[in-house]
Structure 1
Amino acid sequence: MSDNAVPTSPAAGPFLSSIMQIEPQWIDYNGHLNMAYYHVMFDRAIDQLWAELGIGPAYMKERQGSTFITECHVRYLREIHLGDPVQVAVWLIAADEKRLHTFEELRHAGEGWVSATSEGMSVHIDMSKRKVAPFPQDIQDNIARALQAHAALPRPEGLGRAIGMPANK
Structure 2
Amino acid sequence: MFISPAMQIEKGWIDYNGHLNMAYYNVLFDRAGEDAFEKIGLGAEYARTRALTSYSAEVHVCYVRELHFGHSVTATFQLLDHDEKRMRFYQELRHVDGWLAATCEQLSLHVDMSGPRVVPFPPDILANLERVQANHASLRPPVRAGRAIAIKRKAPE
TM bucket normalised to smaller:
over 0.9
List, as ranges, runs of 4+ consecutive aligned residues in structure 1 with deviation greater than 3 Å: none
Tell me what 1:92 maps to. Answer: 79
Q: Which amino acid aligns with 1:49?
A: A
Give the count of matched residue pairs: 155
Distance 1:45 1:168 in 2: 39
Tell me what 1:66 maps to. Answer: 53
Tell me what 1:44 maps to. Answer: 31
Distance 2:81 2:94 in 1: 22
- Secondary structure of the 2:35 match is helix
Tell me what 2:129 maps to. Answer: 143
Distance 1:135 1:128 in 2: 15
- Secondary structure of the 1:166 match is coil
* Seq. identity, %: 46
Distance 2:72 2:30 in 1: 16
Distance 2:73 2:154 in 1: 36
5+ residue gaps, structure 1, are: 1-13
TM-score scaled by length of structure 2: 0.96
Distance 1:104 1:113 in 2: 14
Distance 1:18 1:64 in 2: 27
Which of 139, 146, 150 is residue 153 of structure 1 equivalent to?
Answer: 139
TM-score scaled by length of structure 1: 0.90
- Secondary structure of the 2:39 match is helix
CA drift of 1:129 comes to: 2.2
Q: Is residue 2:13 matched to residue 1:26?
A: yes
- Secondary structure of the 1:86 match is strand
Distance 2:139 2:106 in 1: 18
5+ residue gaps, structure 2, are: none
Tell me what 1:56 maps to. Answer: 43
